[in-house]
Amino acid sequence: MEREEIKAVIENILLAADQPVSQTQLKSLFGDEIEKVSLKSVLEELIDEYKTRSLQIIQVAEGYQLCTRHDYSNWVRKFLKFDKTTKLSQPSLDTLSIIAYKQPLTKAEVEEIRGVDSSGVVRTLLEKKIISPGGRKKVPGRPIMYRTTRKFLEYFGLKDLSDLPTLEDFKENELEQIPPDQTTLPFDEQSADGVEGMADKASEEEAPLTDPTKIDSSTGS
């Protein structure tokens, strides 16, 4: 395949995909067709081309996504009638920040930092699929630990966790207000399907086990 044809195919795939597309997925799709062309250079070229367009290609959650620009977000929301947009409360944002920077950690550890019960907040974040169980801690009772998910990266437009603001970033911007799009996240009502049971289980007290030195093999996303 010629370079321009590969670019056109990638462009259409990004348009049709409902989530970020990774280089691994694209390499698997093209197979031998991509051997003579650097996939990374093609993607970088596409990103540059879209800098002058009304849409943009961004790197997020270890993949690439074709999306609208923030300048037009109000019009997009108005057209799609995002009446079901869920605004995270300040306690939810506080808890999410703690988990994001110190993950994985248990609910008890979150509560120790916040100084208040966080059962309801953790349950909400689980239902939104922004966090997920990330194994069990090697202590008596083996409590569940939590970590952020790929959806967390997608909603906040992060390539990976290394893109999280540092302490220095906060100091430089301490007088600036957090942009509305970082506190208002659109969620589909169906996004909580299948996690209600998980949230219920996570909120229950863990029964002590005879061998607290082993960790379950199941992990979060």
pLDDT digits (tens, 9 = 90+) for 65-110: 998 888 887 887 777 665 444 567 888 889 999 999 999 999 999 9
The helix (H) or strand (E) run that includes residue 64 is strand 63-68
What is the rounded distance in angstroms from the CA atom of residue 141 to the CA atom of residue 90? 30
Domains 3-78 and 86-203 share a fold: yes
Is domain 3-78 given the CATH code 1.10.10.10 in the classification? yes
Instruction: Give the range with max mean pLDDT: 107-116, 147-156, 167-176.
Output: 107-116
Q: Could you tell me the pLDDT band of residue 218, with boundaries at 50, 70 and 90?
A: very low
Return the CATH number of 86-203, one of 3.90.1150.10, 1.25.40.10, 1.10.10.10, 3.30.9.10.
Answer: 1.10.10.10
What is the rounded distance in angstroms from the CA atom of residue 211 to the CA atom of residue 189? 40
What is the rounded distance in angstroms from the CA atom of residue 34 to the CA atom of residue 26? 9
147 three-state secondary structure: strand
What is the rounded distance in angstroms from the CA atom of residue 34 to the CA atom of residue 45? 15
Report domain extents, the chain: 3-78, 86-203
DSSP 21: B
The pTM for the full model equals 0.49
Task: Express each pLDDT in 146-155 by its tens digit.
Answer: 999 988 888 7
Give me the DSSP letters along 89-125.
Answer: PHHHHHHHHHHHHH-SEEHHHHHHHHSS--HHHHHHH
Is the Cβ–Cβ distance between 146 and 99 less than 8 Å? Answer: yes
pLDDT of residue 136: 92
Is the confidence at residue 38, as pLDDT, over 60? yes
Is the confidence at residue 13, as pLDDT, over 90? yes
